Each structure stands twice: as C-alpha cells, then as structure tokens.
Chains A and B, each alone.
Chain A
Amino acid sequence: MGIESALGEGYLTSRVDALVNWARANAAWPMPMGLACCAIEMMAFAGPKYDAARFGSEVMRFSPRQSDVMIVAGWCTYKMSHAVRRIWDQMPDPKWCIAMGACASTGGMHRSYGVVQGVDNFLPVDAYISGCPPRPDAVLHALMKIQDKIKTEHSVLLDA
C-alpha cells in the first residue's frame, strides 16, 4: 500500500498553509544555545538513544542562519544575554524558541544579580521545559509542542 491508495483519482487537494506547515514542522532544525549543565541533556536529546532526528530535527545547526528553533539550555547571564539575542536576531523567520530547564525559564536556583531571571526577559519563548535538568524526552515533548504550534500557523495565507 503506497500513496496511490490515498490519491484515488491521481491528485489530492490541500491548503498551501497546511502543506507548508507540514514541511516546516518536520524540519525544525535546532540552534543549540548550550549555556550550562542542561546542554548535556540537550546533546542526549540529539544523540542516538533519544534521537531528535525522528521528529525531523535532523541536525543541530551551529549557524543561526540555518536553524529554526533555538534551544536555550542553561542559565543566561546579563553579559551573555546580548550574545544570545544577537544570535536570535540573525536567525531567519519563522523561528521558535525553547527555554530548557528551570534556569532558562525562570533563573532557577541562580537567584543572583548576574543571571537573567528567565530568558523570556529578552526572547519570545514558545515552550518552557521544567526540570533541573529536564530529561531528553521532555525536550522532545517541547519539540512536539512546537510542531503542534507550527501546524496551526497561517503565515502564507496572511502574506498573500
């Protein structure tokens, strides 16, 4: 049984948005912003055991220009926040952001003058992950939430 059975008469109809969103949702390449201990779990998320490639997040892109989802993994200092924001601004639209772990979400246990109390102070975060550190499957969960979000977007229709 191949796609022929679904095609019926030999064609199918869809909306451009649905098609584009389907493609985007299954090719969300992460930009690993590993700032602290959480980055280790983020590596496990990409590694063979948890395998983010199953969800289309095929490769970690270390160039912001080639990535779609920024995973901020770890606590962010005020000094670093400028670099993170600059990388974020270099990512092409559309783009999404995951705040991974207690520190990126709220500052976590680093309740101190040097640490930004949550990266949402300077980034538009789409998904927050709890835990210190979160398990790699929690990162996969956040990725799937972002896929759900991508699938509800209407970008192409609005542009037209």
Chain B
Amino acid sequence: MSSSPAGSLSNTIEEVTKHHTSAVIEAYTSSGDTFLRIEKESLLAVCSWLKEEHDFVYLADIVGADRFTSDERFEVIYNLLSLKNQCRLFVKVRCDEDAPSLESVTGIWPGANWKEREVYDMFGIRFENHPDLRRMYLPEDFQYYPLRKEFPLLGVPGSIPLPNTTPDAD
C-alpha cells in the first residue's frame, strides 16, 4: 500500500468496491477529485465503514443538488476528508422527487447536524433520525424550498411577511 495521497485514495476505492460490492454504483475521478456514488440504502454502512477503516474522520460539507431529472431527481454529496491520509472523497447518493429522504449521518459525524438542516432547508430532503430537523435560514413557516429549480428567483410574493409598518398597531 502506497502512502501517497492518491495511492491511499485509490486503495480506499478498491476496498470499498470489494467490501460493499452491492452498494457501489460507480466510482470515478473528475477534475482531480474522486467521487463514489452509492445506493441510498447503504449510506450509513458505507459512511461508518469509511470513517472507521479509512480515517475519513472529518465531514467537511454536505451539498444538495437538484438534477431536475424525472427519476432520482435529488442528489446529496458528502465531502469527506481524511486528515491522516491527506485526501478527500466525495460520496454521492440520489433520491427520488416524491418525499425525498435519506438516513441522517449525525450518528457518525455529529457535525452533520447543521449541514443536513441546511440541505433540508434548501431542497426539502428529509433526514431520518436527525436529532433536530428544523429549517436553518428561512422562517419556520416558509412553505417552499428555494434551491429547487422550479422556485422563482425572486421568491413567491407574500410568502415571507414584511414587518407591520403602522406603528403602535397590534
């Protein structure tokens, strides 16, 4: 096993395809980054395995994406960093348009808490077993998910109330 960053990353990919054969859909590199797309059912298993066996102890970010396709419309991308091996791995999962939901990874990386809340806020993807799945930025009673493609750029008029401009009124 080589100790160079690229070496340990390709070793990780090799091992993950061996240990989780049915979970891995594809693994590829693009623009110098390595991506691993997996089945959403195996998300927790693969993630905890990556953390335990390959030192991906740091979840740098969670990103949502609206692919605007008729099947598997939403994609969630986990940006994992191994401080020990000095390498970065992007894990992708896709989910369907109707009631999109994924397992929460807060049990593996507690720092996922706010990141998953942000993805929920912007795309409406629910994270099961999340300790506190509330909106992150937008008001609690906001009814839309603004980073979905069909959401208008300037928002839905009247969907977020402006303050009362009559002083001393209730």
Contact = CB atoms under 8 A, between A and B. Distances in A.
B153 interface: yes
A76 to B, nearest CB: 10
Nearest to A89: B167
Interface string B25-47: 00000000000000000000000
Interface residues of A, number: 17
Given A78-B160, A111-B153, A113-B146, A122 B138 contact: no
Contact of B163 (A85, A112, A113): A85
Contact of A112 (B153, B156, B165): B153
B155 A113 contact: yes
Q: Number of contact residues on B: which range applies?
A: 10 to 19
Nearest to B144: A113
B163 A82 contact: yes
A97 to B, nearest CB: 12
Interface of A: 78-79, 81-82, 84-86, 89, 111-114, 116-117, 121-123
Nearest to A84: B163
Among A78, A85, A113, A122, which residue has the most Cβ atoms of chain B within 10 A? A113
A114 B162 contact: no
A84 B165 CA distance: 11
B138 to A, nearest CB: 7
A122 B155 contact: no
Interface in B114-139: 137-139
9 contacts: A78-B160, A78-B161, A81-B162, A81-B163, A113-B146, A113-B151, A113-B155, A114-B137, A114-B155
Given A113-B146, A123-B165, 6 more contacts: A84-B163, A85-B165, A112-B154, A113-B155, A113-B156, A113-B160
Contacts of A85: 163-165
Nearest first, the 10 closest Cβ-Cβ pairs linking A and B are A113-B155, A85-B163, A78-B160, A82-B163, A122-B162, A122-B163, A89-B167, A113-B146, A122-B165, A81-B163
Contacts of B155: 112-114
Contacts of B160: 78-79, 113-114
